[in-house]
Amino acid sequence: MAKLLPEHPAWLWRDPDPKSSYDAVVVGGGGHGLATAYYLAKNHGMTNIAVLEKGWLAGGNMARNTTIIRSNYLWDESAAIYEFSLKQWEQLPAELDYDFLFSQRGVLNLAHTLQDVREATRRINANRLNRVDAEWLEPDEVAKVCPIVNVSQDVRYPVLGATFQPRAGIAKHDHVAWAFARACDAMGVDIIQNCEVTGFIKDGDRVVGVETSRGRINAGTVGLVAAGHSTVLAEKAGFRLPVQSHPLQALVSELYEPVHPTVVMSNHVHVYVSQAHKGELVMGAGVDAYNGYGQRGSFHVIEHQMAAALELFPIFGRARLLRTWGGIVDVSPDASPVIGPTPLENLYINCGWGTGGFKATPGAGWAMAHTMATGEPHDLNRAFGLERFVSGALIDEHGAAAVAH
Amino acid sequence: MMLLTCPWCGPRDETEYHYGGQAHVAYPENPSDLSDEEWAEYLFFRDNPKGPFAERWSHSAGCRRWFNVVRDTATYEVLEVYTNADPRPVVGSPAGGSR
């Protein structure tokens, strides 16, 4: 906490014009897109790769999330990919030679009802079976981990306990994107900003390139990694996705001295809070119920979230809000992502992460790169294909996703 | 904050309403004839346009009746409000509310 931010070099990646052809094109220059390109180059020896970003690098959800990293999901398939991601996070600063301030300060998921307690203890047992670190804490133990949490039993939704994952934490999200971008660039990947994909070039059912605002680009394989706008792109390609786009808001306070040593999440009263390295209290809530692409949300959601924050953290009573913003999250029916082939040959998709994509950045990139390079899913994403909505083998993570959506 | 106009109660704040997703999704006429792919389509796949979208809202804190809205999902402008008995209107000028 309060560690100085690392200076980043003035030059991190080139600004090339798009070439007419690439072996692999990744659509979307956020965290997942950059990680996909990174592992395509590193794990699969591909270097003729372009990352196409319609705006600026990592300016979408990568710039708008609450930076929480954890792997305490319920089902085996989820535990596998999130825990794989966490293990990558633990060694990526060294691998990328870039300190993005990954801080394993732990996460508390509070329980406020008997049902919460049952769900939480079930999840702890599931986590342990999957070798994910997880503990149950009684209210007095919660107060030891995070002394500013109000554990009085004399409130509307008292804290009955919490799950605790000590290895969870936060990272400096912009620095994560820059670290991946610099490493991609060093391996020859072209990162092309202000380049919107406007259509797909097809030979029958086979995608052979993309039309962009900067001209036609032929591609050996194409990956769609566009989060909230995945369905818009899929529609241009001619297929549907089982996801809906919703605004999700977050906000930060002014800078304060270090007061909040961990990450606290509460499904029931619905707020999640951590303190950024610089000192802001970072808070998020649930998604707005309606579909939207406006990158802003409803005021009543903030009102609800602030009420929850104040009940849990009376010390925040005089904290002042500095700014709010919204991201667009693509929510799937089972609150689990879609990573795998599409109905079109040579076209692969990574979407549907809902409110929780940041934590999965390295694992999602790893699995997506494997899928794009080999045409086959990796063990990490085999269960996360589109076909599960036909087979019925859903991976229902609404509980462990920790946000109402 | 959106202001939505209930066809029966008039303009009310968004907090009085419950969202119901895409409108005009009909229950299959012959459910037993559906393939797994068709069931998946009916259960899990909905339109998700960036632009005008016909969707269902319920005035849950008021008359509790369901109705339909055509709303632009990029601007959140409400373009049409109509009852379940009406067909989907051709999207015209803004009517029935604004953000």
Q: What is the distance in angstroms between the Cα of A248 and the nearest Cα belonging to chain B?
A: 14
* pLDDT-above-90 percentage for chain A: 93
A218 touches chain B (CB under 8 A): no
Count of beta carbons in the 10 Å neighbourhood of residue A132 = 23
| Burial of residue B33 (number of CB atoms within 10 Å: 0-12, 13-18, 19+) | exposed
Q: What is the mean pLDDT of residues A276-296?
A: 94
Confidence (pLDDT) at B98: 45
Sign of CA dihedral A200, A203, A205, A208: negative
**Residue A11 — very low, low, confident or very high, per pLDDT cuts 50/70/90?**
confident
Which two structure tokens, joined as six digits, stand for A259? 């007061």
> For the CA atoms of A169, A175, A178, A182, what is the dihedral angle to 10 degrees?
-90
Burial letters A365-375, b for 16+ CB under 10 A, else e: bbbbbbbbbee
Query: Cβ of A252: how many Cβ atoms within 10 Å?
Result: 19
Exposed e or buried b per residue across A94-129, where buried means at least 16 C-beta atoms within 10 angstroms of its C-beta:
eebebbbbbbbbbbbbbbbeeebbebbeebbebbee
A8 DSSP 8-state letter = P
Which residue from B1, B43, B75 is facing A300, i.e. has the nearest CB? Answer: B1
| Pick from A127, A82, A62, A109: nearest CA to A270 | A109
Among A390, A394, A396, pick the best mutation site for testing chain B contact (most B Cβ within 10 A): A390
What is the DSSP annotation of A252-281? EEEE--S---SEEEETTTTEEEEE-TTSEE
Helix (H) or strand (E) segment spanning residue A363: helix A361-374
What is the strand order of the sheet B10-13 is part of?
Answer: B10-13, B3-6, B97-98
Assigned token pair, A342:
């599409």
* Domain parsing of chain B, residue ranges: 17-26+46-99
- Minimum distance, in Å, between the CA of residue A84 and any CA atom of chain B: 28
Residues A257 and A58: their CA atoms lie apart, in Å, by 28
- CA–CA distance, A33 with A35 (Å, rounded to integer): 5
Q: Is the pLDDT of residue B94 over 50?
A: no
Chain B: give the shortest CA distance to residue A261, in Å. 34
- Residue-wise pLDDT for B30-62, tens only, equals 999 999 999 999 999 999 999 999 999 999 999
DSSP A137-176: E-HHHHHHH-TTS---SSSSS---EEEEETT-EE--HHHH
B48 vs A390: CB contact, 8 Å cut-off? no
Judge: A242–B44 Cβ closer than 8 Å, yes or no: yes
Residue B61, min C-alpha distance to chain A (Å): 15
- Give this complex's ipTM: 0.92
Tens digits of residue pLDDT in A229-262? 999 999 999 999 999 999 999 999 999 999 999 9
pLDDT of residue A403: 65
- Copy the structure tokens of residue A82: 């999130």
CB contact under 8 A, A389 and B2: no
Q: Nearest 10 degrees: CA dihedral of A397, A398, A400, A401?
A: 100
Residue of A236, A240, A291 best to disrupt the B interface, most CBs of B under 10 A? A291
- Partner-chain residue, chosen from A232, A243, A298, that has the shortest CB–CB distance to B50: A232
Decide if pLDDT at A1 tops 90: no
Considering the entire predicted model, what is its pTM? Answer: 0.95
Closest-approach residue (CA) in chain B for A244: B48
- Separation in Å, CA of A333 to nearest CA in chain B: 6
Contact list in B for residue A229 (CB cut-off 8 A) is: 50
Give domain B17-26+46-99's CATH architecture. Answer: 2-Layer Sandwich (3.30)
- B48 neighbourhood in chain A, CB within 8 Å: 231-232, 241, 243-245, 291
Determine contact: A19 vs chain B, CB below 8 A. no
Kindly tell me if the per-residue pLDDT of A370 is higher than 90. Answer: yes
